Amino acid sequence: MATTREELTAKIQRIKREKKLTWKKIAAAIGKGSPIYYTAALHGQMKLSDGEAKKAGKVLGLTENEILLLQEIPYRGSLPPGPPTDPLIYRFYELVQVYGTTWKSLIQEEFGDGIMSAIDFDMQMERQPDPKGDRVKLTMTGKFLSYRQY
Amino acid sequence: MATTREELTAKIQRIKREKKLTWKKIAAAIGKGSPIYYTAALHGQMKLSDGEAKKAGKVLGLTENEILLLQEIPYRGSLPPGPPTDPLIYRFYELVQVYGTTWKSLIQEEFGDGIMSAIDFDMQMERQPDPKGDRVKLTMTGKFLSYRQY
Amino acid sequence: MATTREELTAKIQRIKREKKLTWKKIAAAIGKGSPIYYTAALHGQMKLSDGEAKKAGKVLGLTENEILLLQEIPYRGSLPPGPPTDPLIYRFYELVQVYGTTWKSLIQEEFGDGIMSAIDFDMQMERQPDPKGDRVKLTMTGKFLSYRQY
Amino acid sequence: MATTREELTAKIQRIKREKKLTWKKIAAAIGKGSPIYYTAALHGQMKLSDGEAKKAGKVLGLTENEILLLQEIPYRGSLPPGPPTDPLIYRFYELVQVYGTTWKSLIQEEFGDGIMSAIDFDMQMERQPDPKGDRVKLTMTGKFLSYRQY
Amino acid sequence: MATTREELTAKIQRIKREKKLTWKKIAAAIGKGSPIYYTAALHGQMKLSDGEAKKAGKVLGLTENEILLLQEIPYRGSLPPGPPTDPLIYRFYELVQVYGTTWKSLIQEEFGDGIMSAIDFDMQMERQPDPKGDRVKLTMTGKFLSYRQY
Amino acid sequence: MATTREELTAKIQRIKREKKLTWKKIAAAIGKGSPIYYTAALHGQMKLSDGEAKKAGKVLGLTENEILLLQEIPYRGSLPPGPPTDPLIYRFYELVQVYGTTWKSLIQEEFGDGIMSAIDFDMQMERQPDPKGDRVKLTMTGKFLSYRQY
Amino acid sequence: MATTREELTAKIQRIKREKKLTWKKIAAAIGKGSPIYYTAALHGQMKLSDGEAKKAGKVLGLTENEILLLQEIPYRGSLPPGPPTDPLIYRFYELVQVYGTTWKSLIQEEFGDGIMSAIDFDMQMERQPDPKGDRVKLTMTGKFLSYRQY
Amino acid sequence: MATTREELTAKIQRIKREKKLTWKKIAAAIGKGSPIYYTAALHGQMKLSDGEAKKAGKVLGLTENEILLLQEIPYRGSLPPGPPTDPLIYRFYELVQVYGTTWKSLIQEEFGDGIMSAIDFDMQMERQPDPKGDRVKLTMTGKFLSYRQY
Amino acid sequence: MATTREELTAKIQRIKREKKLTWKKIAAAIGKGSPIYYTAALHGQMKLSDGEAKKAGKVLGLTENEILLLQEIPYRGSLPPGPPTDPLIYRFYELVQVYGTTWKSLIQEEFGDGIMSAIDFDMQMERQPDPKGDRVKLTMTGKFLSYRQY
Amino acid sequence: MATTREELTAKIQRIKREKKLTWKKIAAAIGKGSPIYYTAALHGQMKLSDGEAKKAGKVLGLTENEILLLQEIPYRGSLPPGPPTDPLIYRFYELVQVYGTTWKSLIQEEFGDGIMSAIDFDMQMERQPDPKGDRVKLTMTGKFLSYRQY
């Protein structure tokens, strides 16, 4: 039985393989929320509500304790320390390296002093067909939070 | 006279301050491309074409050598080593930490083994009005590149 | 003339020493805001408004360009990389090490999934007299931001 | 049976989940001290007295050896190496990055050369209602310790 | 039974030792692809097709679940953090240290702004006989990817 | 006047920009050796012979002392510490991460215990035309060095 | 003129060399305090009183501004990041590595939960003659500070 | 049964807790040497003689193999990598940061070029009563070792 | 049964302790090669021949699979990351820190551009009696390898 | 004029280049000591006596202050942080990685608990002719220092 979130993530990956499930199918079974949010929860990065966790437990065959664990707020951070070694994930890290200062200059020029929230945040992923090769399209919105001057 | 890209970026920031310019105005003077791309170039992360560099040189009052320097491919990477300390930029790094494995699972489930290119890539930034507080909206598309099996 | 924020911070420290000023006196000359906020601005971590920057410029004898620089949003982060070596600052880092998981457990038990904002944030510092030795009293409030479920 | 403090912390988290307890309820069962102090002890960062440990053992169903372990002074440090990846905890780390030098300047201007103790230290957490969104209020006091000139 | 890719790699190495197999023999049993690609897959860095995985499972005596695991896209990165300590692998790291800027200058002078893909990539290894001592010959080709100007 | 190799590399890059030279043209002016070797020397990673350095000095307009400096064996290492942030160079680092253990297994299976030399080493770069997009072709040979058993 | 503490430390070292002074002689000229404390101040780690700073300024020939700088509380930390490379200093770091957990066990067994202060702290250095080779004798006392239970 | 020094240290800590022993009592049972030395040995940092190890084994109830293990020279280093997070141990690290260069200057001014040995070294710990709060007194002596000029 | 080289090294150390063997005795039982080479192999850093591994297996009581494992080329690197904390090993690291640039200057002045091989390398260790204290004498020879100019 | 040891080392390298000197010639001019010791001093790692420094000053044309600087004990450590990137120096670091635990086992088996001194240490470098390629021969002796049991 998994008692930590890491163990639970590993168990879910094993079951998914055995049952030949996909993340999308599992997400659809959990509820009407975004598949990105639900997949993040199954990777130990978000929490599920009581109802969602029970549905996840049903499709995956989890124990009662594991269903409770899915409702706990996790200690977030899905990657080992240092720049990510996996090429797909590294490319996002590279975007931060290359565009970081540009994002800062343009967002703050438009909105003033503050940040784009990574908490009041949502995102979508789509396939954008393209004759030269389909493209991954990511759309993110985050609430702009102004620095409080006190 | 600036002889490295870092010196040139610093000089451009000083001139922008003195002339009370904005990144958007400078970008509009450079050409019809994306303000994000042009701002990245002025931060030493992208190169400009000959015509664009000359226009940038004109609006900013750069020397001929500096105009040539803007056309060179830079050694990319705009941030000091380690996680970025600036809060606006850190939030993007946090997204990679929290969502990295989720992106990997969902993109590869949809597209197969490969990555989203950070080279054949474009992005847009918009202000999305919202009664609870306006939101920063970022849209990115990157060509999906399949791992070659050989 | 200082052209970067680091140079400006160093220049301000030199002038403060020469003129035998204190941070509190400089802050009082800048405006009615918190001395903590103003001191952070003079250390290159916050921005001043046009009027505040001019007053700071007057009391410190800064150039016009430096007054503009004080109004720019800085690249934040006041410390060299790695745990801070200065004992006063290290003690705050130690609090994060020792209390980090406790803060997470208690704040999220009280407020649900989310964070205490470091942007919509303010703080105060007071001397709390104590017969066994006076105490430093810090009071911080940060808006609770809920994770958006999408 | 847990024989290290890390194992005991993990076991307490599992029991808390199974028994649907909260940190506040466990703390109230332990004694009249601060819930922050008691929660830190249950996270392996503080020690309990004999009486407190026995009460903790009772509410959580711990073994005698585990009750002794709660009375031992722990090797403190609740976080993995590097900046914390969890967003709630990171925000506190960010405050040290942004305000570190400001705290040093203002505390030492007020008190002279020395530090705010992180040992002779206490803190409180409150919910501060606010129409724009409730706020987390933290109040800390630490004894000021003067550098001994010898 | 191996449930993670690391465990499976370790198990394959043990079986290879017991059965006195070589990587080349195992690769030949898997299919007509490159032995480099197949060996990388058996080291947990590439995925196999269904047919290939079954053949690998047969020659190595793997379970059905392990055969499915070989078809999953792995989290790539075969080395512990930091510069590699093994001398054979370190020499390749050294080549990046010594030749990195040279490769950048010459590839971009020839092809324009962009990179050599590490995804649409293949390589070969040969023994090149030489009277002064045989040489390892590596030939790599990677598609040139141009930076998209947008 | 440049007195360190880093200063000389920077100076050469500035002159190349002003004179609108290419690395290939400079290399051709230096001698009959490989353009890779010569470009590496101009990037401060290899040494030139007396005759080659004089020719490099002539085409670039260097001082006598700088010509001597080009003949000195440099302290090698062309990159800042940590994984390279420039995308073109990072892809080579990624190859080491992904293929490191595979290279070790296959080279040592073929040649026995030892390494491929990065000293008695040469390489070539070619453009390989391809209708789906031209490819960068790199060919490297390194002498195999056997571990001495003593 | 030195405007930072690092520059002042470097200047003091140069003057000491030119005037063939010793740290002990300079310390004796400054006052009756410990030569360790005064030498630490001259290395930018402690502050001097007004009277002491003036005497230091006299024996070393410092400017008025530099004399004020000696009275400022420095940002402490005398070493580059990472374990110290200088062998004399490294040996002290090694003592922390080897004896750290022992000190913790024995001091807390004797005094209860708390620490030895590094602020309310003093030390002495003596030469202890020994026929097998003289010994360095260091004596340190630090106030024991109890963890506050609240 | 413990087969590594780390396992043995953990086992000793568990037994000490169960038997309600103190380090001082265990040390007194081992022999007439310093309690610091013996405690360091029980923390896996020093070796015991045959007779001492047998006495330690008796008081702690260790197996024969564990008694042999106590006589082996350990791989020294009692702390996880990076600056120590435990506050008691960190304060000693802080002393090295603050006083490192001062120790170097004063010891070498007194003794010439060389170091204080951390091998031919001993130390003592005492409680120094003080009306303002008792003090921890540490006395260390280390043989001065001169750099050999050859 | 040990299935990795690390487990095998740990098992050999346990057996050596139980059988009261020494590295020299084990080495002598293995063959006529250097005790340094054989000891390195038993520490998981070199490989043994078939005959040597069998003899090692006999004296240590290893299984057949473990005897095969001793013949495999290991992933080399015997130390945890970062500078070694064990004092004996650290002193060698210190020699590299202090003498690194000197070795480079003198070896390359004598031999030209190249390196001393760490692969075609052997070493010896002797006790050199000395009335002031016996000395450790290490003699190393490594083939000089010239950089290939191509 | 050089006022720090790093500046002096850089100046000496420039003069050596201009005067077409070798380290051996400079060492011979300084005195009868080992060329390794003298070269290390000229690289800022050892100190010279008064007479030696004057002779070094004469052959290199140094100022009086620089001659005094050569007599000061340097802050040792000749390499940038992290594993050395220069291949010649890295090979020595690799030897520590590969042989570190072996050296520890064999030296301590022969001499008991202690270390080989890196302070009471000397070394020699010779060319060892060999028909298969000349070898670099290094001979080091270091006094064995026993751990003091107290």
Sign of CA dihedral H98, D114, D140, C123: negative
Chain A residues with beta carbon closer than 8 angstroms to that of C104: 73, 75
C-alpha radius of gyration, chain A, whole number: 18
CA-to-CA distance for I124 and J49, rounded, in angstroms? 34
Could you identify the residue written with the tokens 């044309």?
J61
pTM across the whole model = 0.96
Q: Look at residue B85 in the predicted model and tell me its pLDDT.
A: 97
D61 has pLDDT over 90: yes
Catalytic residue among C6, C64, C72, C94: C94
Q: How confident is the model at residue J64 (pLDDT cuts 50, 70, 90)?
A: very high
Residue H148 annotated to the active site: no
CB atoms within 10 A of CB A55: 18
G1: pLDDT strictly greater than 90: no
C57 phi, psi to nearest 5 deg:
-60, -35
Residues I36, J102 contacting (CB under 8 angstroms) = yes
Biggest CA pair distance of chain F: 56
- Which pLDDT belongs to residue F1? 79
Q: Is E9 helix (H, G, I), strand (E, B) or coil?
A: helix
Q: Give mean pLDDT, residues A142-149.
A: 97
Query: Where residue B1 falls among pLDDT bands split at 50, 70, 90?
Result: confident
CA dist F142 and F144 (Å) reads 6
Q: How far apart are CA J138 and CA I118, in angstroms?
A: 13
Q: Which of G10, G17, G87 sits opposite J76 (nearest CB)?
A: G87
Nearest partner of J108 among I97, I24, I33, judged by Cα: I24
pLDDT score for I1:
79
The pLDDT score that the predictor gives to residue F47 is: 98
**pLDDT value for D1:** 79
Q: Are E144 and E119 a contacting pair, CB within 8 Å? A: no
Interface residue of C5, C22, C78, C99 to substitute, partner D, most D CBs within 10 Å: C99
What is Dmax (Cα atoms) for chain J? Answer: 56
CA-CA-CA-CA torsion for A65, A68, A72, A74, nearest 10 degrees? Answer: 50
pLDDT digits (tens, 9 = 90+) for I91-114: 999 999 999 999 999 999 999 999
**Residues of A assigned a catalytic role:** 91, 94, 117
The SS3 call for residue F71 is coil
ipTM for this model: 0.96
Residue E1: the pLDDT is 79
- Provide the sign of the torsion angle of the four alpha carbons G1, G6, G8, G13, taken in this order: negative
Tokens of F58: 């002539």
What mean pLDDT do residues A94-121 have?
98
Residue I126: DSSP 8-state: E
Phi-psi region of G20 (alpha: psi -120 to 50; beta: other; left: phi over 0): left
Q: Over its length of 150 residues, how does chain H's per-residue pLDDT go in tens digits?
A: 788 999 999 999 999 999 999 999 999 999 999 999 999 999 999 999 999 999 999 999 999 999 999 999 999 999 999 999 999 999 999 999 999 999 999 999 999 999 999 999 999 999 999 999 999 999 999 999 999 999
- Please tell me if residue H137 touches chain G, with a CB cutoff of 8 Å: yes
* Whole-angstrom distance, CA of residue D86 vs CA of residue A45: 10
Region J54-61 average pLDDT: 98
* Closest C-alpha among F48, F16, F21 to residue F32: F48
The residue from G78, G105, G117, G146 that is catalytic is G117
Q: Residue I146: what residue type?
A: S
Q: Is A81–D86 a contact, with Cβ atoms under 8 angstroms apart? A: no
What phi and psi values does residue J53 have, to the nearest 5 degrees? -65, -40
pLDDT computed for residue C1 by the predictor: 79
Determine the residue type at G141. T
Q: Is I109 a catalytic residue?
A: no
Portion of chain A with pLDDT greater than 90, in percent = 96
Domain boundaries, chain J: 5-69, 87-146
Q: Please tell me if residue H141 touches chain J, with a CB cutoff of 8 Å.
A: no
In chain E, the N- to C-terminal Cα span, in Å, equals: 50
As a 3-state breakdown, chain A gives helix, strand, coil percent values, each rounded to 5, of: 50, 20, 35
I73/F113 CB distance under 8 A: yes
Residue range A56-80: mean pLDDT, rounded: 97
Q: State the average pLDDT over residues G68-81.
A: 96
pLDDT band, residue A138 (cuts 50/70/90): very high
Closest CA relative to residue G110, chosen from H39, D70, D42: H39
**Residues I33-92 pLDDT 10s:** 999 999 999 999 999 999 999 999 999 999 999 999 999 999 999 999 999 999 999 999
Going by pLDDT thresholds of 50, 70 and 90, the confidence category of residue G102 is very high
Partners of D88 in beta bridges:
none
**Fold type of domain B87-146:** Cyanate Lyase; Chain: A, domain 2 (3.30.1160)
Record: fold of J5-69: 434 Repressor (Amino-terminal Domain) (1.10.260)
Pure H helices in chain E: 5-18, 23-30, 35-42, 50-60, 64-69, 87-111
- E3 has a chain A CB within 8 A of its CB: yes
- D85 → closest Cβ in B82, B85, B97: B97
Active site residue B34: no
| I17 → closest Cβ in H68, H75, H81 | H68
| pLDDT tens digits, B100-125 | 999 999 999 999 999 999 999 999 99
The answer to whether the CB of C107 falls within 8 A of the CB of D125 is yes
Residue D143: pLDDT above 90?
A: yes
Say if the Cβ atoms of F33 and I150 lie within 8 Å: yes
Is the pLDDT assigned to residue B69 strictly greater than 90? yes
CB-CB contact of C15 with G68 (8 Å): no
Reading the block at residue I37, the tokens are 């080479």
Sheet holding B114-128, edge to edge: A114-128, A135-146, B135-146, B114-128
For residue range I7-16, list pLDDT tens digits in order: 999 999 999 9
